[in-house]
Amino acid sequence: MGRRTATQILEMRGSFKANPQRARPKEPKASRPFRKAAPRHLTEAQRRCWKEIVQRCPAGVLTNADEHQVELVAVLLAEFRADSEAMPTTRLTLLGRYLDKLGLSPSGRASLTVGQPKGNDFDDV
């Protein structure tokens, strides 16, 4: 099965202008914004990693549907920082893959498509 591009991304590209019947109106969408506070069950080191990940993710990428993935990345990143030499290669590979999917690598950022902010702080100057 091939990878599917999210409907929201296709809409921003203008893919449905010529063929609006190809839109997938039943595709699930995130209903709430991302919660920036780390879950209470994480350790202190994992919470620091959560905060760092959230601060470094490109604006507009995270929604409430991404909380589990950010939690997983925070746990793996804390494990890496605690003892990187003992961390199995498979877990390092997972960490790299998940960081990429969140846009925390050059190739990951290149593959993201997010809406542009409505204005900027210097518009009124």
SS3 track for 27-72 = CCCCCCECCCCCCCCCCHHHHHHHHHHHHHCCCCCCEHHHHHHHHH
Taking residues 19-41, what's their average pLDDT?
Answer: 79
Quick one: average pLDDT of 93-97?
93
Q: How far is CA 58 from the centre of its chain?
A: 8
Percent of the chain with pLDDT over 70: 74
Q: Of 5-14, 19-28, 48-57, 63-72, give the lowest mean pLDDT range.
A: 5-14
Reported as a single tens digit per residue, the pLDDT across 32-73 is 788 889 999 999 999 999 999 999 987 777 888 889 999 999
pLDDT at 66: 87
Confidence of residue 111 (pLDDT cuts 50, 70, 90): confident
* Token digits of residue 71: 């939690």
DSSP 103: T
Mean pLDDT to the nearest integer, 8-29: 72
